[in-house]
Amino acid sequence: MNAVSGTATGDAGLARVEVRVGRNDGKFWTDSEWTDSETWLTASGAESWNYDLSAAGLLTEEVEYTVEARAVDLADRTDGSPAAVTFTFDKNALEVQFQTPADDALLTTNQPEVTVLASDSCSGIA
């Protein structure tokens, strides 16, 4: 994941979209570091907006994040109920293993039973 994006509208015209990135430990991203202060950051664009999540130090493996977005109109009124999405950052691929048929097995049917095990430590798939 490199960015979050969306669309927004404003009754008095749209000035900007602001985003807030929070972690499950109560810290908030300031565009350069994590802090205790709830920080709203300006996204790129307005009606069609995005915020880059690829900054060094922003996302850490197996940590839960909430990204909120709110519109600000030309009269400087702020949306009172921001849209939000919560996710856990996981950049590791699933581990997959074939259980049956065995490697180099001689199959005597055209519909063999295949068993696969998949696991991922972050999502809990086992």
Question: What string of pLDDT tens digits covers the 126 residues of the chain?
Answer: 578 999 998 778 899 999 999 999 999 999 999 999 999 999 999 999 999 998 877 888 889 999 999 999 998 999 889 999 998 887 766 667 776 677 777 777 777 777 776 656 656 565
Q: Which fold has domain 3-88?
A: Immunoglobulin-like (2.60.40)
The token pair at 66 is 């909430």
Listed in order, the ranges of the chain carrying CATH 2.60.40 are 3-88
Bridge partners (DSSP) of residue 61 are none
Question: 117: buried, middle or exposed (CB in 10 Å: 19+, 13-18, 0-12)?
Answer: exposed
